[in-house]
Amino acid sequence: MNWYTKLNQYFPVEEMKSREHMETLLEEKGKVYRKDEGPKHVLMYVEFKDFIFVDYLFVSKEARGEGLGKKLLEKLKATGKTILLEVEPVNYEDTDTEKRLRFYQREGFVHATQIGYNRRSLATGENTVLEILYWTPEPRDEKEVYEAMKWTYENIHTYKDEEFYGESYDPTNKVLTFLTEKRDSILDDN
């Protein structure tokens, strides 16, 4: 099974980029957009000067519990850069969401409680609320995390969106918001 099929079978359609979009990112933005693939995993990420954004992390069910996800994150942490990623809030009908949150919490990620993220899927037309988690080697202001997410949204998520999907994603200011007050962390109950 190829890397895209693995991702497409695991991630919800509203969170997936098209294969053409991802292949174009690898080709045209290959200096920052990267793929780490093995028989039991696929890691798609953006490595920029000051941060890393994990676009997709897939570990096969057969490999879960072997420490592969931890090893992949350790490799990224070794760069000394802040690591960002998007997660779904806990869905009690999908036990994987809670397991993912516990995994990231064990790996030292924290919830960006001042960042609101509501993205309309071009595949389904539905709005998807996602949360931002981040790991940092030293304390960071969430405003820095917000700015990194804006850069990622504008330069990766929406890259040539009209060409690939026939329409554009919503503008950044409609998708990402920086809240003046902190919300409860989604990691506190896990």
Domain range enclosing 63: 3-178
Please indicate whether residue 89 or residue 53 has the higher confidence score (pLDDT).
53
- Residue 189 belongs to some domain of the structure: no
In a domain, 187, yes or no: no
Residue 131 covered by a domain: yes
| Structural domain count, the chain | 1
H-helix or E-strand spanning residue 54: strand 51-59
Beta bridge partners of 45: 34, 54
CA 152 to mean position of chain CA atoms: 10
Which amino acid is present at 156?
Answer: I
Banded pLDDT at 92 (limits 50, 70, 90): low
Q: Which residues fall within 8 angstroms of residue 37, CB to CB, at 6 or more apart?
A: 3, 43
Residue 145 in domain: yes
CATH number at residue 102: 3.40.630.30
Asked if the structure places residue 129 within a domain, the reply is yes
For residue 144, the tally of other CB atoms under 10 A from its CB is 14
Q: Which of helix, strand or coil describes residue 79?
A: coil
Whether the predicted pLDDT of 127 surpasses 70: yes
